[in-house]
Amino acid sequence: MISFDHISFQYENAGKLALRDVSLTVKDGEYLAIVGHNGSGKSTLAKHINALLVPKSGTVTVDGMSTSDEDNVLKIRQHVGMVFQNPDNQLVTTIVEEDVAFGPENLGVPPKEIRGRVDESLAIVGMTEYAEAAAHHLSGGQKQRVAIAGMLAMHPDVLVLDEATAMLDPKGREELLSTILRLNKTEGLTIIIVTQYMDEICGCDRVIVMNHGSVAMEGTPVEIFSDVAALRGIGMDAPETVLLRDALLERGVKLSHDIITADELAEALCPLL
């Protein structure tokens, strides 16, 4: 679906590269997390996926189309929907269903089809009952789900969430993560989540850890959390559940090294009590 082939990127007037010789691929239907500390290059990498940025060298292709070719930009952005950090900056109308309809209208989708897409998209994110609500009255998590619905109404193949949980409270984060996991597993949507919260990556298929513009680590969540020392060496840390798992292992408690979630840890500890 998406390929980065030895790409590098430097912002104007910046003294160093924001991305340095990055190569990776994203498979169709994959749930991928891109993590890293502030300034690691993770958001810069994400913005290359739908041609918000184009590489200074190397090539990014989406469904076979180069993002550096201006003739491809509209088609690429129809393939790739992006949801950003601040939900208030993404809502363009005052009523929820009108906001969800905004994207398809701009694509020239017939009105009857737009109605169906709006209803379908709101149902997928669990916001049907808020269709006629005032968008500014919603919680942060609800606004982000409306933003996702607006992307879904344009029928993308890929959904990129760039720090989309950063401004949400714990409940809003949980609701949003549950929604995107369901989109991946039941709708088959390719999901790319960009975050610095390591507890958000446990449900992903694969994790890319960025550091100083390069890929520092890559693997499944279990593989990434198997080397906490390496994570700490690049300014990251593991979730508290993983740290507790390792502390118990050091004290001789017989646990699997594959445990990374609170539910998995609780299930493993119950027989030992």
Q: Are strands 206-211 and 57-62 parallel, antiparallel or unpaired?
A: unpaired
pTM: predicted TM-score of the whole model, two decimal places: 0.89
pLDDT of residue 245: 93
Rounded to 5°, the CA angle 54-30-150 comes to: 70
Token couple for 103: 């994207």
Higher pLDDT, 169 or 116: 116
Q: Which residues pair with 193 in a beta bridge?
A: 33, 161
CA pair distance 251, 247, nearest whole angstrom: 7
What contacts 121, CB < 8 A, 6 or more positions away? 100, 149, 150, 152, 153
CA pair distance 110, 122, nearest whole angstrom: 18
Q: What is the pLDDT of residues 223-253, one digit of tens each?
A: 999 999 999 999 898 999 999 999 999 999 9
CA pair distance 269, 114, nearest whole angstrom: 50
pLDDT of residue 92: 87
Confidence bin at 125 (pLDDT 50/70/90): confident
Q: What are phi and psi of 211, to 5 degrees?
A: -155, 120
Give mean pLDDT, residues 136-150: 89
Specify whether the CB–CB gap between 46 and 193 falls below 8 A.
Answer: no
Q: What is the pLDDT of residues 11-68, one digit of tens each?
A: 988 789 999 999 999 999 999 999 998 889 999 999 999 999 999 999 999 999 999 9
Domain residue spans of the chain: 2-221
What contacts 165, CB < 8 A, 6 or more positions away? 144, 172, 173, 176, 177, 195, 197, 200
Class in CATH terms, 2-221? alpha beta
Token couple for 270: 């119950």
CA pair distance 206, 270, nearest whole angstrom: 29
Strand (E) or helix (H) holding 153: none
pLDDT at 273 over 80: no
Amino acid at 113: E
